[in-house]
């Protein structure tokens, strides 16, 4: 069910409540800043006319304008400072809220949302919502109150004949012009955002599948597909851009019409020339306020569409429910799969696991050996509760994994994937990502356990040497061992290794296995492999049929 716009706005406001007070201050500063601009222009034109008529002195006028300009500059600074404080704090709050709602659902949330969509929502969509705070709320409020306030004030002070045109045209600019093409612009923006998510997913797939694309010689095809999607984005954006140009032109025309109208009405009614001049000068900047509202209307399309998309992603139901128990880490863990069956949602009911029953005793090193597609990784993912089995159960020390808190379960079980996932940062930073309070002694201990300590010591900067996907002083095998060391730093009770020695030679492979047994005798280890390697007598082989 698609949420109403009101519920989406209330959800966003509930998250960003801490920034509402500085937001109100920013609104007040904007109103004062726009009002001072109108007064400065009005007094300047009035002063020139007064000097020509011999009723004004230039020095007092210049002093007054200089003082007002200084105050306006200060107020403008305060408006910008408070507005951007609100915007950046809102970014922090929105991203924090989004991650806090998505993190417990990972990785199951990827079943209903593509990774490219998530990246777009957590970056670009939140950036667009931030625009709502930085460039929308204050301009909208000021865009209505300033023309209305000056129209009424001029009517009370100088008479309604002179103020009628600025009042009517100002309110027309504030209340009618922004609504021109609003629905079509909003629909167009939603389509643009949807197409941009497709583009983001396409680029994401291209980056992660670069090796396959190059090996099959499909680079040009992928580039052309990207340009095709980008062209579709540009085409879909045209209606909103056209209406934005129309609104801008109307506001510009209203400015000149207002100035000319005041002049004609003032002359016709034989009004005081300096009063006419003051209102005409003020009208030159009167439409800056509704023009800001017109700009905000364009940004509002993107902000509301982005907020609705973020709301949808954050409210995707979790694939698993959280338990209440903590994992008892004081004793080694025995793992049992009891008649487990599982079929992926998009597999048309064909099970990847059926009647899977195995027990891995505490402190045992078991190796799942099977070709791709046989369900060995699925069995481990179900253990970590990435999803729940279609039937059967998985037990930790005799207790169903569904009864444990997800955070406690995943703290007790460390997964080392085949692909080395490292930040482009120092070795130290990558290790501390797993355990921020780890001492240097603890880091060297885990590096020693994976036979990486001496190699790191030989690097010019040691633990502070850079590594990661963008730049690295480590080979593929060294990066894989660093990922293993990072997992060990969390002090898990169960260690899951997915082809963890794919990039190391057989001798080092065996050395790491012996080291793990020596350093972590109580650790239960599950290893996933496509083929059978040399193994010691204390390592049990579990063969899965495809």
325 is a domain residue: no
In angstroms, the CA 297 to CA 135 distance is: 10
CATH no. for residue 382? 3.40.50.300
Same-domain check for residues 220 and 367: no
Same-domain check for residues 283 and 370: no
For the stretch 165-213, pLDDT in tens is 999 998 888 888 888 887 787 778 778 877 887 887 788 788 878 878 8
Same-domain check for residues 392 and 443: yes
User: Looking at residue 369, what is its pLDDT?
Assistant: 82
Q: What is the mean pLDDT of residues 6-10?
A: 83
Same-domain check for residues 350 and 429: yes
Same-domain check for residues 363 and 258: no
In angstroms, the CA 127 to CA 125 distance is: 5
Provide the number of structural domains found in the chain: 2
Same-domain check for residues 152 and 191: yes
- Domain holding 536, by residue range, is 335-543
pLDDT grade for 474, boundaries at 50, 70 and 90? confident
207 is a domain residue: yes
Same-domain check for residues 302 and 345: no
Other beta carbons within 10 Å of 143 = 30
Tracing tokens 């501390």 back to the chain, one arrives at 432
What region does 363 belong to: left with phi over 0, alpha with psi -120 to 50, or beta?
left
For the stretch 114-150, pLDDT in tens is 666 677 777 777 877 877 777 778 888 888 899 999 9
Tracing tokens 């306030």 back to the chain, one arrives at 149
- Strand, helix or coil at 265? helix
327 is a domain residue: no
pLDDT grade for 99, boundaries at 50, 70 and 90? confident
101 is a domain residue: yes
Q: What stretch of H or E contains 363?
A: none
For the stretch 314-327, pLDDT in tens is 888 877 888 889 98
DSSP assignment string, 130-180: HHHHHHTHHHHHHHHHHHHHHHHHHHHHH-HHHHHHHHHHHHHHHHTGGGT
Q: What is the mean pLDDT of residues 507-532?
A: 84
Same-domain check for residues 17 and 162: yes
330 is a domain residue: no
User: Looking at residue 534, what is its pLDDT?
Assistant: 55
CATH no. for residue 78? 1.20.1560.10
């Amino acid at each position: 069910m698609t949420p109403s716009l009101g519920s989406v706005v209330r959800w966003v406001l509930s998250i960003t409540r801490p920034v509402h007070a500085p937001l109100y201050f920013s609104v007040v500063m904007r109103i004062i800043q726009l009002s001072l601009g109108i007064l400065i222009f009005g007094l300047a034109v009035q002063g020139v006319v007064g000097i020509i008529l011999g009723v004004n002195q230039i020095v007092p006028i210049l002093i007054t304008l200089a003082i007002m300009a200084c105050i306006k500059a200060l107020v403008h600074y305060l408006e910008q400072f408070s507005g951007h404080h609100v915007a950046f704090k809102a970014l922090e709050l929105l991203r924090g809220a989004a991650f806090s709602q998505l993190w417990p659902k990972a990785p199951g949330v990827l079943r209903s949302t593509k990774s490219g969509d998530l990246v777009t929502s957590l970056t670009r969509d939140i950036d667009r919502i931030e625009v709502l705070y930085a460039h929308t709320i204050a301009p909208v409020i000021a865009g209505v109150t300033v023309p209305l306030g000056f129209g009424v004030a001029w009517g009370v002070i100088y008479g309604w004949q002179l103020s009628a045109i600025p009042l009517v045209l100002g309110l027309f600019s504030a209340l009618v012009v922004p609504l021109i093409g609003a629905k079509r612009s909003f629909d167009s923006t939603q389509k643009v955002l949807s197409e941009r998510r497709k583009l983001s997913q396409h680029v994401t797939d291209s980056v992660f599948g670069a090796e396959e694309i190059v090996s099959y010689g499909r680079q040009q095809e992928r580039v052309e597909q990207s340009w095709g999607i980008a062209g579709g984005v540009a085409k879909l954006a045209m209606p909103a851009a056209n209406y934005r140009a129309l609104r801008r032109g109307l506001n510009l025309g209203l400015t000149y019409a207002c100035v000319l109208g005041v002049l004609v009405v003032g002359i016709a009614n034989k009004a005081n020339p300096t009063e006419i001049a003051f209102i005409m000068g003020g009208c030159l900047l009167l439409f800056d306020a509704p023009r800001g509202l017109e700009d905000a209307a364009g940004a509002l399309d993107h902000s509301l569409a982005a907020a609705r998309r973020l709301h949808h992603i954050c409210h995707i139901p979790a694939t698993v429910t959280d338990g209440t128990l903590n994992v008892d880490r004081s004793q080694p863990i025995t793992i049992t799969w009891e008649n487990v069956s599982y079929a992926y949602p998009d597999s048309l009911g064909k099970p990847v696991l059926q009647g899977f029953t195995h027990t891995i005793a505490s402190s045992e090193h078991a190796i799942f050996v099977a070709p791709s597609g046989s369900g060995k990784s699925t069995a481990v993912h179900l253990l970590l509760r990435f999803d729940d089995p279609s039937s059967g159960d998985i037990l930790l020390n005799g207790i169903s994994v569904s009864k444990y808190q997800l955070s406690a379960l995943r703290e007790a079980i460390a997964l080392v994937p085949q692909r080395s996932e490292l930040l482009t940062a120092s070795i130290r930073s990558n290790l501390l990502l797993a355990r921020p309070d780890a001492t240097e002694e603890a880091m060297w201990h885990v590096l020693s356990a994976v036979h990486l300590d001496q190699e790191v010591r030989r690097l010019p900067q040691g633990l502070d040497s850079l590594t990661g996907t963008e730049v690295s002083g480590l080979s593929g095998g060294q990066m894989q061992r660093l990922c293993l060391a990072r997992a060990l730093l969390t002090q898990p009770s169960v260690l899951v290794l997915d082809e963890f020695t794919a990039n190391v030679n057989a001798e080092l492979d065996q050395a790491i296995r012996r080291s793990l047994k020596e350093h972590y005798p109580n650790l239960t280890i599950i290893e996933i492999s496509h083929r059978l390697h040399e193994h010691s007598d204390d390592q049990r082989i579990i063969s899965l049929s495809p």
